[in-house]
Amino acid sequence: MRLNHILRRAFLGSFVLGFALVGCQEEGLKEAQAVLTSETTLSFEAVSGQPQVINVYSDGSWKALVDQDWITVSPMSGDKAMEVTISVSDNVAGGEMDAPRSGLVIFRGASIERQGELTVKQKGDTYKGVNKLTLGEVAVLEDGLAAKIPEATVVAVTTAGFVLADNTGNLYVQGTRDVNIGDKVSLNGTKSTFNQGPSFLVDELTVTGSGSVSYPDPVDAQSIILTYNGGQTPYVKVSGSLVVDRVSLPPSTIQIIDAPESLGLEAVDIHKVNLYGYFVGMSGTTGYLVVTSFDDLGIDESLNVKKNDFIQWGFSAALMGTYKSAFEKGGSLPANLAGTGYISWNSLPENVALDAAAKKSQMVDGAGQPYVTGAWPGDYWEFSIPLYNVTANASVLFSALHQISGTGQKYWKMVYSFDGIEWTPARALESETETGTSAQYTHIAATTETRIEETIPVPYDIEEGLLRIRFVVAANWQGNGGALAAPDSGTHRWAGDEGTAPVIKVVKTFFEDDFSWLLPYADDYIAQNEGVTPQTMDPVGSDLSSHTQPGVWKVESLTATLGVEFTERGYVDLNPSVQTLYLQYGYFKMGASGKPTGLRLPPIDFGVTPTDAVISFNWCAHMSNAGKIDGVTIVAELEGPGKCLATGLAISEECLTTQENGNLEWQDARVALTGVTSDTRILLRPTHMSDGQGPNSQRWHLDNIRITNH
């Protein structure tokens, strides 16, 4: 800490004043009434520490007092402001670096209360007296004990640690350091445990050399999983299909931890692989692997997770054998009915420390439903969903049932993240002071099954990524009222069975048109025609039978403008010769008596591989002047590849209306398609547009077309 400049100016000012008072009088040295130093602390290297200079400020004479003989001060006394040099001797004993040390230098005048103090620190061996151990010896230490590892070789690296080897074994080291495979290192730190496996928390590390690494013959990972009880870090081989950072070895899972980008694992996502590396721990049925290398055995076509857009869990007594053991041992719940996804429960370390009565647990009940006890603010459920080729116009639909017991937490906050860094509430946060403090939450849990349904927008294009959805305990307040004093046996569960358990859909939009591009044309027409209003051009919204309906192919100005844009957008009027395509306020009306028509939609990029899709749209049957609703029905028709799912044909089931006479209102239509490609064209038209079997009046209105994968 440097001397406060104001104090320094005050001292210098007093020196000038004192000089003015005494003038040229000759006088002896006067003891200082106050002494300050420009530094209060100095730090020196353990060996060959270079001398350092400080400034001493005083209003008179001073002398230095040193409490350690390894500290040298020059000069040891002085008058008023002077530079002083501080030196130290090497911090060694018996030929080895000694422990860090500290001493005090006092610069004193006449007043002890106003003396200057300088603390001198010298680096040394923090672990002086700590045993030097091999990796095998460290592995069996109690957690928390310090140790020195004088020599070991780096055999694997991660973004958060590395693996060491010597002739006594291997050891996983936690802590980011700038090391490479083959480096020879010495290090100091403390023994720890990582998911039952021995580990070491690195504090100090020195690279002493480098060389090559030879790996032993690997052990089959499945044999390790069956017998693993901690205490070892074996080199293993994992054979299976890689999904993001996991390989499934039923009934277990291998989780890759902190693989560096340079390893190149992203290139073999959804591939069959052989992974080689160090098995560093196990939690439940999940084993943790630090990868050193891999064999690429080609894409696993059976997974099809590149289309991971429908993820479903099923909770039941019949199914729970596939997930009960893993979840109750701290593992995750993989999606077991469709897609790839994982549900896990996470307790904050500080909350675990609060659990003196050991109330925290995660269980599966007799109906197969997962639940937790001992939840505490900040603890959370997490849904992890791999995403592939998702564009920014997509969304993720989350649907699940949840339930608490009377002493389970009432307030929860649902947040999501596409990058693991920025977390966004799934809906607007609300505040509640019932808890005694202001708690922010998105959902209130109930003691009866309550469905959560949220839509999460995708913010940017994602080629490959991971969506995390967290359901976080927001407040320490129980469902039946009152605060909890400590974690208790109150429960929170994901309820439902095979049909109502959690479902997550990634909704990709192939095509969307709300016809808002028609509004400028409608506004212009209104401005040019007296008596025409937005209401008269909106028959469905205004419930009008008689209304303004300018024909796109009849009004010359519209043909030259709207008609051109209509064609450029890729739309086709299915019956242009009758000229019954009409502009409305933000949508189309189609058909006149005896003159029906419909639309062929623009080409849609479904891709070359046959895929499934759903087309949804709003439509409304026209109403005559007498208030009668036209007896028109609507179908979707496919030209080219694909079929309508419900009929197995190119033509869908009829879309019927529930309108009653005298009532215009939008109808929601939805048609599921299968096997469509970019060569498929979609038509929307009256069922009997050209077969001569329908009613004479087949007039209808169309708006809000959307084609998605669900």
The 3-state secondary structure of 65-90 reads: EECCCCEEEECCEEECCEEEEEEECC
Residue 21 confidence class, pLDDT cut points 50, 70, 90: very low
Residues of CATH 2.60.120.260 domain(s) within the chain?
Answer: 306-507, 513-708
Q: Tens digits of per-residue pLDDT, 168-177?
A: 999 999 998 9
553-570 in b/e burial notation, b at 16+ Cβ within 10 A?
bebeebeeebbeebeeee
> Does residue 161 register a pLDDT over 90?
yes
The rounded mean pLDDT for the chain is: 90
Model pTM above 0.75? no
> Does residue 5 register a pLDDT over 60?
no
319-323, 637-641, 648-652, 668-672: which range is least confident on average? 319-323
- Token digits of residue 230: 């901690």
Q: What is the C-alpha to C-alpha distance for residues 139 and 168, in angstroms, rounded to an integer?
A: 10
Q: What is the DSSP string of 150-173?
A: EEEEEEEE-SSEEEEEETTEEEEE
Residue 1 confidence class, pLDDT cut points 50, 70, 90: very low
The residues near 582 (Cβ < 8 Å, ≥ 6 apart) are 549, 550, 551, 552, 588, 589, 590
Instruction: Say which DSSP state 541 is in.
Output: H
Instruction: Say which DSSP state 26 is in.
Output: -
Q: Tens digits of per-residue pLDDT, 237-252?
A: 999 999 878 898 877 8
Residues of CATH 2.40.50.200 domain(s) within the chain?
Answer: 127-303
Q: What is the C-alpha to C-alpha distance for residues 383 and 256, in angstroms, rounded to an integer?
A: 18
Q: What is the DSSP string of 593-627?
A: TTB---EEPPP----SS-EEEEEEEEEEE-B-TTS
Omega of the bond leading into 251 within 30 degrees of 0 (cis): yes
At 675, which amino acid appears?
A: G
CATH, domain range 306-507:
2.60.120.260
Containing 326, the helix (H) or strand (E) segment is: helix 324-328
Nearest to 666, CA basis, from 614, 622, 709, 627: 622
> Does residue 304 register a pLDDT over 70?
no
Residues of CATH 2.60.40.10 domain(s) within the chain?
Answer: 5-122
| Predicted local distance difference test score (pLDDT) of residue 22 | 31
22-31, 70-79, 122-131: which range is least confident on average? 22-31
> Does residue 652 register a pLDDT over 50?
yes
Q: Tens digits of per-residue pLDDT, 29-50?
A: 788 899 999 999 999 999 999 9
Q: What is the C-alpha to C-alpha distance for residues 469 and 462, in angstroms, rounded to an integer?
A: 16
- Tally the residues of the chain: 710
Q: Tens digits of per-residue pLDDT, 506-563?
A: 998 999 999 999 999 999 999 999 999 999 999 999 999 989 999 999 999 999 999 9
The residues near 545 (Cβ < 8 Å, ≥ 6 apart) are 539, 623, 624, 625, 626, 627, 664
Give the best-scoring range by mean pLDDT among 260-274, 339-353, 661-675: 661-675
| Predicted local distance difference test score (pLDDT) of residue 574 | 97
- Taking a C-beta distance cutoff of 8 angstroms, is the pair 322, 251 a contact? yes
Nearest to 368, CA basis, from 252, 495, 489: 495
- Taking a C-beta distance cutoff of 8 angstroms, is the pair 86, 72 a contact? yes
> Counting beta carbons within 10 angstroms of the beta carbon of residue 154, is it exposed (0 to 12), middle (13 to 18) or buried (19 or more)?
buried
334-347 in b/e burial notation, b at 16+ Cβ within 10 A?
bbbbebbbbbbbbb
The second-level CATH assignment, the architecture, of 513-708 is Sandwich (2.60)
132-136, 387-391, 510-514, 580-584: which range is least confident on average? 387-391
Residue 28 confidence class, pLDDT cut points 50, 70, 90: low
Q: 3.30.70.270, 2.60.40.10, 3.40.50.970, 3.90.1150.10: which CATH number matches 5-122?
A: 2.60.40.10
CATH topology of domain 127-303: OB fold (Dihydrolipoamide Acetyltransferase, E2P) (2.40.50)
> Does residue 688 register a pLDDT over 70?
yes
